[in-house]
Amino acid sequence: MTGGTSAGSDSGSDIALGVDLGGTKIEIVALRLDPAGTPAATTTPRAPDILARRRVLTRRERGYDAVLAETATLITSFAAELGLDPHHVPLGVGMPGSITRAGLVKNSNTVCLNGRPFRTDLEAHLARTRPIAFDNDANCLALAETFLGAAAPYRDGIVFGVIMGTGVGGGLIAFGRPWPGPQGIGGEWGHHAVFPGRGDPCYCGQRGCLEQFASGPAVEADYARRAGAPLPLAAIATRAAPEANDPHARAAMDTLLDAYGRGLANLIDILDPSAIVLGGGLSHLDALYDEGRARVAHYVFNDELTTPILRNALGDSAGVLGAALLGAS
């Protein structure tokens, strides 16, 4: 974010809009910036100054054109209610997936967007006179937690933001700016092999990917295979405690923690980030911060583990706030 164009100086506004385009909902937020057009002035966490927010259903089953129109209508009406110019107000959009060099969406779980020029089409629908900033949801989470959340003390270094939920992804903030990489796959730690050749094939075509062992559905499927009956993740975590005497829950959690430990240790070995912040549904599991951290320490290529592994501070608001920060840069 440092060195970027000030939203205040370029648009006459100290407000940026962020859109989080998810598989089930589209959320928009208006975020007030500091007078200089920057998201924060210190390295201490602070409450974001949210002026307004709204959510609507994505309704992705209606197809690409409908999602595009719904997103454009939401932005236009929301901006108008706030007295903002939808053609020029700083605007960022975050969503699962990324943009190819040809400007097409790839790897989105809203599959009707894949292979389509969503950013270009959205700019055309809005008759934008300034570009829309666009990034994946993990980079948005990492950006928000770096400037407004748990990783604020480390914003001058390298912060890795983790999403562990339905899938496993990551975002990389280097010295205040997202680093998607030249191929748009920076931070995709969910698709490196922690158990090579083990398990069912991942949708990416490989076997042994972290996502196949450390996502919510993976843990639930593992438990169901062992126990012969399903349980939600929260119940599995509770029944994994020694006093619950559920060996199937303990085994499923052990696989999760071992995959998590190997995965984060590999990441630390390669990147050695200033801090790691966890997001997504699994980030609420206490085991990731004690027993899970011990697994990371066991596998890391060092005689100690000093890397902070942090709980997120912004919850499910991180993605949409990070998108607004993108728009402000």
Instruction: For each of the domains in the chain, give its residue range(s) and CATH number, in order of start.
Output: 7-141+317-328 (3.30.420.40), 154-312 (3.30.420.40)
Averaged pLDDT in 10-residue chunks for the chain of 329 residues: 38 80 91 64 65 92 94 96 94 88 84 93 95 92 94 96 92 93 88 93 91 96 97 97 96 98 98 96 96 98 97 93 92
Q: Are 142 and 161 in contact (CB under 8 A)?
A: yes
Partners of 168 in beta bridges: 164
Rounded Cα distance between 129 and 142, Å, is 28
In this predicted structure, what is the pLDDT of residue 8? 38
Contacts of 106 (CB under 8 A, 6+ apart): 97, 98, 99, 100, 114, 115, 184
In this predicted structure, what is the pLDDT of residue 167? 87
Q: Which two tokens stand for residue 270?
A: 């390669």
Burial of 104 (0-12, 13-18, 19+ CB in 10 A): middle
In this predicted structure, what is the pLDDT of residue 11? 42
In this predicted structure, what is the pLDDT of residue 35? 58
* Strand bridging mode 98-99 / 105-106: antiparallel
Instruction: Write down the pTM of the prediction.
Output: 0.87
Hey, what amino acid is at 314? L
Other residues' Cβ atoms within 10 Å of the Cβ of residue 88: 17
In this predicted structure, what is the pLDDT of residue 43? 55
In this predicted structure, what is the pLDDT of residue 203? 83
